[in-house]
Structure formats: C-alpha cells, structure tokens
C-alpha cells in the first residue's frame, strides 16, 4: 500500500491499496441471544492472521453483514481493526439499498478504521440504469474517501466486465470481488480491466484455476474455513509448484461442495467451524441450524480434507 494513512488509521484519500493473496471474510461469532461475541470474534481474527492471510473482510455476506444494524457493523469493524493492529488491511462490507444508506455505512466504516469498503450495488432493486450505477459508486467514493472494492455479488446484481472497466476509472476503485460463477466472465474481466484494478476471485471451488487465469488473489468464504490450506495453495502457486497447488485444490473442493449442499448459508459455514473446534454460535434468525444430514455431509468432507481435530 502506498500513500499512507490518516490519523484514524484509514487509507488516506488518494492512496492506492494493492490487494492480493488470500483474503477471508471473518465469520461473526454470536452468543445464544444472537448478540456479538467479541472474544469469539477476536479469537477468529487471531486464528486467521496466524495462518498467513493477506487481508480480511468484515460485514460481508459470510459475516452476516446484511443482518446487522449500522451500529453493530461499526462495532464489528472497530473490533477487527483493533485486533489486527495495522498488520493488514481490513475491508468493511457495505450492503445497502440506496446511495444515502451506503454513504452512511461508509462513514461508519471509516470512523471505525476500515482500510477500504467492499461495496455492492444496491441489493433490493434491480440494477439501475448504467449511469445510475456509475454515479452510485462515484458518490460513495467521493463522500466517504476510502478505497472501494467492487462487490460483484452476482446473480443479484451483475457488473459486466465492460461496466467494471468504466468503474475502474473512478479514483477510489482499486479492486473487484468477482462473485459471478461464470469463469468465462472472469477471463473477460481480467482481459479488459486486470491492468486497471486488482481482481479477486470469489469462486469457492475455483481458487486455483482463478490464480492460473491471472486473478490477483481470492476473497472467498472457504478461506475463512480452511485458511491454512488456502494460504498454502497460494504460496505453492507463487512458487510455481502447481502440482502441490492442485493437490491442495482437490483437498479443498469437497468441503466447498458440502457447504453449498443446502441453501442455508452462512449457517453451514458456522457448522463447519464448530466441527473444526472453532465454535462461533448460531447464525442470526431467520437462518436455522443445518440438518443432521447436512452436518454428516460436512463432517465427511472435512475428514476427506484431513482437517478434522
């Protein structure tokens, strides 16, 4: 990262945040009353950072950000920034339904010390006309003054490679989390915008192929579940040891499949962490605990990956 930070520890306006490597979204521990479990959150962050990750995300989808109040989102971000203590960037998710709401959440993230915003297009409405989408990101960037990672949270709101190229011209836009499961579109995005912004793959089952294709890093929930394996995969890839990277990919793949066997995400991720000896409490209502059948599937996959305690 160049350009320095301001007195709050935020990335200074005009600074360029160079994101890459393995970036997990932090799973949010909750107590039985579904309140934020701060000791549990700090414990998860310490585990992830000790595994060698390159940055982390709070208040995104895996972190149940859309189910938190603005005050809770600010608190979670503050805790993460405090625990990381400047060792790596902290990205704060902004999942909003209007420009005004996104700016408010962005200001809260900046006040809490976030390094950048993981900013999704408006979620409830269909994608507005292209000029409105561009103006949405431009306004949030200008008003908040933090670097922006575009959150291409397809299929809810797909940002096409051509639109991403236009958004890359905005001074605050530094990266994109490509959640679109279309591998062809990732190739197109890297071809047209990969030299303008950092492209972070969120294709849970295709982290290794994404790196081969040219992605600068990965931002995916599986990294929060299996941080050591994912970091080892990235390091093997960087060293040109593609055989090891592929072997790690094949260990990770069954776990990804198991987590997505039921439309109950991120509750399945929380279940996986409990089976790994990392209890993080329930998912916030109305999400429910996965079935016994799903638990058996996840346990079996973790055993195949060789990571069960």
Q: What is the Cβ-side half-sphere exposure of residue 190, based on CA atoms within 13 angstroms?
A: 16
Q: Which domain holds residue 125?
A: 21-241
Percent of the chain past pLDDT 90, that is, above it, reads 85
The dihedral built from the CA positions of residue 287, 292, 297 and 303, taken in this order, carries a sign that is positive
pLDDT of residue 153: 83
Rounded to an integer, the average pLDDT of 286-308 is 96
So which residues are the catalytic ones?
151, 177
Listed residue (239, 241, 300, 235) closest to 272, CA to CA: 300
Has residue 105 been placed in a domain? yes
Q: Look at residue 217 and tell me whether its pLDDT is greater than 70.
A: yes
Average predicted confidence (pLDDT) for the chain: 92
Q: Look at residue 157 and tell me whether its pLDDT is greater than 90.
A: no
Global pTM value: 0.93
pLDDT of residue 99: 95
- Answer whether 85's CB lies under 8 Å from 131's CB: no
Total count of domains within the chain: 1
Has residue 295 been placed in a domain? no
Q: What is the pLDDT of residues 112-151, one digit of tens each?
A: 999 999 999 987 666 678 899 999 999 999 999 999 999 9
Has residue 81 been placed in a domain? yes
Token pair for 127: 């994608």
pLDDT of residue 156: 66
CA distances from 209 to 20, 156, 182, 214, 284 (A): 15, 24, 13, 9, 33
pLDDT band at 11 (very low <50, low <70, confident <90, very high): very low
Has residue 224 been placed in a domain? yes
Has residue 252 been placed in a domain? no
Has residue 248 been placed in a domain? no
Q: What is the pLDDT of residues 186-195, one digit of tens each?
A: 999 999 999 9
Has residue 170 been placed in a domain? yes
The CATH number that applies at residue 209 is 3.20.20.70
Coil, helix or strand for 53? coil
pLDDT of residue 125: 67
- Answer whether 87's CB lies under 8 Å from 54's CB: no
pLDDT of residue 154: 65
pLDDT of residue 12: 42
Of 12 and 174, the one with more pLDDT: 174
Percent of the chain past pLDDT 70, that is, above it, reads 93
Q: What is the pLDDT of residues 57-103, one digit of tens each?
A: 999 999 999 999 999 999 999 999 999 999 999 999 999 989 999 99
Has residue 283 been placed in a domain? no
């Amino acid at each position: 990262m160049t350009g320095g930070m301001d007195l709050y520890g935020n990335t200074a306006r005009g600074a360029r945040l160079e994101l890459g490597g393995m970036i997990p979204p932090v799973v949010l521990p909750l107590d039985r009353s579904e309140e934020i479990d701060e000791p549990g959150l700090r414990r998860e962050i310490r585990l992830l950072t000790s595994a060698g990750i390159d940055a982390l995300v709070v208040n995104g989808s895996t972190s149940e950000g859309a189910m938190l109040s603005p005050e809770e989102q600010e608190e979670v971000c503050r805790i993460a920034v405090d625990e990381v203590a400047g060792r790596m960037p902290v990205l704060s998710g902004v999942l909003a339904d209007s420009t005004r709401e996104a700016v408010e959440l962005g200001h809260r993230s900046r006040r809490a010390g976030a390094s950048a915003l993981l900013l999704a297009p408006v979620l409830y409405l269909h994608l507005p006309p292209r000029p409105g989408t561009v103006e949405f990101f431009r306004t949030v960037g200008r008003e908040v003054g933090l670097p922006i990672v575009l959150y291409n949270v397809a299929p809810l709101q797909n940002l096409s490679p051509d639109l991403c190229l236009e958004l890359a011209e905005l001074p605050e836009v530094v990266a994109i989390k490509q959640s679109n499961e279309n591998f062809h579109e990732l190739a197109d995005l890297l071809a047209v915008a990969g030299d303008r912004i950092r492209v972070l793959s969120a294709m849970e089952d295709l982290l290794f192929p994404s790196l081969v294709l040219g992605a600068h890093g990965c931002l995916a929930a599986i990294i929060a579940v299996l941080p050591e394996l994912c970091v080892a995969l990235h390091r093997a890839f960087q060293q040109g040891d593609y055989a090891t990277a592929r072997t790690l990919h094949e260990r990770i793949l069954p776990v990804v499949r198991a987590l997505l066997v039921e439309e109950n995400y991120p509750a399945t991720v929380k279940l996986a962490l409990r089976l790994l000896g990392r209890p993080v409490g329930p998912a916030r209502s109305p999400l429910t605990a996965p079935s016994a059948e799903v638990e058996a599937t996840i346990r079996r996959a973790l055993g195949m990956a060789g990571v069960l305690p």
